[in-house]
Structure 1
Amino acid sequence: MVAYIVVHAGPVLQSRVTRARFLDNTPSTSPTPAAPTAATGENAAVEALPDTVGTAADRELADAALPFTSGAVKGLPAEATRLLAALRTALTDAHVKDLDDLHAPVKEMAAAGLQTPDTAEGRRLAAALHDFNAPTPAPAPTQAAAPAPAAAMPAAEDAEDGDEGRRDDDDGLVPGDEQEEPEGAVFPALRILKESVARSKMNPIPVIRTEDREAGPWPLVSEDMDGEPGWVHPDVTSTRVAHERNGKRVRRDQLDVPTSFGDGLMCLIDRNGSFPSACSAVPLAPNKLLHTGPLDVFDKSQAGIYQITVPAWNHPDMPHPLGRLAERPDEQGRVWVTTPHIKMLERLHRDGHLTEPVVIHDSWTGKANESLFKPFYQATKDARAELIQAGGEPYKKYKTRLSIALRLLWPKRPESRSPFWRPDWRMSMVAEAFVRHWFSAFKAVQAGHTLIALRNVDAAIFWTPDETAPDTYRLGTGFGEVKAKFIQPGTFIPEGDD
């Protein structure tokens, strides 16, 4: 998935920044739209999707496929369902880069003659595939649209990543994702993850029984536990602007950097494989979580979830260590966090960056293990080293299956037959990725570098006077390393390439 940012030197305005997510093609499931009526005509379904990106053929195909991608109608191969669901998500969330990346494989699928059921839904989908694959004239050149006032932009469309409104009830998966990869798959990520858990001598419990999920610790686990930041430096402003890209209207973030920062460039740091890298040593409780209540001190031999008071953070040049969690405490100023954040706060207090110790008001914990996913991590690391050299479709398939496997740790659809249902494992892994990302940025700031934005779990943006990345990062293509791009002020840049 790709987001874009514009950097300008100028006056300070109101702070705002959006987040990016890990999954490149994040399919969503939406209710099947009502059939077109005589009053609305055949374009009614097309109008159900925003027209800010894509063509009419894109939108018609996405809507024609909706009965299949939502699971209401069966009859398509799993890979076809995945591609069509990803197409709809790219349109819904205005992900232009995702849409561009999807055009080639969808056209290839259409050209190969995808077999559709002999039903009204199947015939409409077949027609949409035919039209989608038909040659289309190049769009006429257009002038860039003027920036739209922020107040005029619908709130739902402001969340470019599309996850804000559906985080806790949608896992980004589609029916069929939970099926184990066939023999000969480029990277059988789900199979490897299952084997990694099965190798543990702690007899892990990969699936919490359905009847147990509405009680105990499970309702307390939420997507907010990742701690992802949507942060910009308090002296830097992020606003949404309209932009024409390849003849399509999209909206992007614009960062306005004050002149007090001096002349410089934006240095975009992109961490490689944040999620699989976090699997190398994420602290988890493989077995049951037991109610251990208030704790005087954090017990390193345990892992789980903890209710703590949000600590004060007095470093304006860095986001709060709890990210967006710090913005959503209960009436008593408390939040639930996973073990990676507890360890992070303990370290910050020990090093003198937090004035008050961590206060644990409640907890659900079990015996800790940091190597449950380590075989999976090693396999993903080895496969990446080989596939990234080849690039192309094999590498894309590797990334897709890797993402699916990790999202299957917490499937949201009741009918999902995932071999996992451990929300605490999923959110601990994501939190571990964020914690590593945050500490890397903090280390650079402590060394004197100027952080102007920190987002999701893999992208940091620094202001630098020359084409020199912060020397606290290691440049490269491997896990633990980063890519650095130097961007002139006023130009659009991609994020989240990996």
Structure 2
Amino acid sequence: ALDMNAAYLSALKCWLPIGQLIETTDGVHNPKKAGVHLITPPDWEHADLPNPLGNRMEPGELWVTESTLRLLLDCARQGLSDAPTIHRSLVSGGTEVLLEKLRRALAEVRKTALAEGDELTVNYVKSMYSKLVSTLGESTANRNMRRPDWMHIIRAKAFANLWMKANKIHKAGLQVVEISGTDELHVIGDWRQVFAEGRDLNQVKEKQTYTLGGKR
């Protein structure tokens, strides 16, 4: 079981809408816009690679965020599935760098704190970006910024980043067992040939090892 470092911090680099969401029904994804989309997802026929939508039981249409739609479109470009059918979109002009200065500042402070063994600052930085994401929606803890669409897009981006790591493991010939939450990936095989081990944002760390069929 591998643990992804600072999943929400990395997910701050995602496409976010910067204005009021306006409905479109042309069924075309505009890469310069962002929002939420009503889609019919494609069939997923890969037993050895988890569905980007998770273990969804109910068929048919569903609303997804910008991060999830872009992940599905990327899967289509890789030939893993057909493209999703877009029925409606609520979007505005978007940008991938809205929170980039914040992300870089927190990442730099975190990196320095890790190098100095300053766990207090590492945990403080984690609290900062975690609280930001969790209070972007309707929250009494944050009355100055209410963008539930941003909150869901960022959370979905964290899962998309995790799924792309699972796909990288799969391409390397290792077996993907499970994707859990937004920061945990279970694999069989020598994962160190794919990822560097450590606590930096571009590294992963081992959470635990266990035997399938036994107790974790």
How high is the TM-score relative to the length of structure 2?
0.90
CA distance in 2 between partners of 1:445 and 1:385 (Å) = 29
2:117 to 390, 394, 412: 390
- Contact 1:440 / 1:472 at 8 angstroms: preserved in 2? no
Query: Within 5 A, what are the aligned runs for 1:135-150?
Result: none
Task: Give the corresponding residue for 2:126.
Answer: 399
Please state if 1:418 is matched with 2:143. Answer: yes
Do the aligned partners of 1:290 and 1:366 also contact (CA within 8 Å) in 2?
A: yes
8 Å contact 2:8–2:129 — kept in the other structure? Answer: no
Q: 2:53 aligns with which of 322, 339, 343?
A: 322
Deviations 1:389-437 (A, max 9, x none): 4244333233223311221211344xx5522110111111111111111
Partner of 2:174: 449
Q: Which of these two proteins has the greater Rg computed from alpha carbons? A: 1
Aligned to 1:198: none
The one-letter code matched in structure 1 to 2:91 is: T
Does residue 283 of the first structure (1) align with residue 5 of the second (2)?
Answer: no
* 3-state secondary structure, aligned to 1:357: coil
Q: Alpha carbon RMSD of aligned pairs, Å?
A: 1.9
Instruction: Note if contact 2:136-2:150 (Cα within 8 Å) is conserved in structure 1.
Output: yes
- Secondary structure in 2 aligned to 1:342? helix
Structure ranking higher in strand proportion: 2
Counterpart Cα distance in 2 of 1:345 and 1:410: 25
Return the letter of the residue paired with 1:476: G
Give the C-alpha shift of residue 340 in structure 1: 1.4
Alpha-carbon distance in structure 2 between the residues aligned to 1:305 and 1:270:
28
Mapping for residues 128-277 of structure 1, pairs under 5 Å: 268-277=1-10
Q: Which runs of 5+ in 2 are unaligned?
A: none
Q: Secondary structure, in 3 states, of the residue corresponding to 1:473?
A: coil
**In structure 2, C-alpha distance between the alignment counterparts of 1:319 and 1:290, rounded to whole Å:** 32
Alpha-carbon separation, structure 1, partners of 2:37 and 2:186: 31
In 1, the alpha carbon distance for the partners of 2:167 and 2:74 equals 13
Q: List alignment gaps of at least 5 residues for structure 1.
A: 1-267, 493-498
Whether the aligned pair in 2 keeps the contact of 1:444 and 1:470 (CA below 8 Å) is no
Q: What is the number of residues matched between the two proteins?
A: 213
1:304 is aligned, of 35, 42, 55, to 35
For the residue of structure 1 that corresponds to 2:95, the secondary structure is coil
Alignment deviations for residues 107-131 of structure 1 (CA, whole Å, 9 cap, x no partner)? xxxxxxxxxxxxxxxxxxxxxxxxx
Aligned pair in 2 of structure 1 residues 485, 285: CA closer, same or farther (>3 Å)?
closer
Whole-angstrom CA distance in 2 between matches of 1:479 and 1:411: 29
How far does the alpha carbon of each residue in 1:416-475 deviate from its partner, in whole angstroms, 9 at most, with x for none? 5522110111111111111111011112112210111110111111123xxx32522232
1:379 counterpart letter in structure 2: A
DSSP 3-state at the match of 1:337: strand
- Identical aligned pairs, as a percentage? 26
Match of residue 461, structure 1, among 175, 186, 192: 186
TM-score normalised according to structure 1 size: 0.41
Task: For 1:405, give the aligned amino acid.
Answer: L
Alpha-carbon contact 1:307-1:336 (below 8 Å) kept = yes
CA 290–383 in structure 1, closer or farther in 2 if over 3 Å, else same? same
Q: Once the 2 structures are TM-superposed, how far is the Cα of residue 386 of structure 1 from its aligned partner?
A: 1.9
User: Retained in 2: the 8 A contact 1:469–1:484?
Assistant: no
Secondary structure (helix, strand or coil) at the match of 2:17 reads coil
SS in structure 1 of the partner of residue 163 of structure 2: helix
**Match status 1:353 vs 2:80:** yes
Does structure 1 residue 475 correspond to structure 2 residue 197?
Answer: yes
Stretches of 4+ moved more than 6 A in 1? none
Q: Residue by residue, what CA displacement relative to the aligned partner does 1:247-282 show, whole Å, maximum 9, x if unpaired?
A: xxxxxxxxxxxxxxxxxxxxx2111111111113x0
Q: Report the CA distance between 1:491 and its aligned residue.
A: 6.2
The answer to whether the 8 A contact 1:449-1:470 is kept is no
Contact kept in structure 2, 1:434 and 1:457, CA below 8 Å = yes
Instruction: Tell whether the 8 Å contact from 2:21 to 2:91 is kept in structure 1 after alignment.
Output: yes
2:208, 2:133 → 1: CA distance?
31
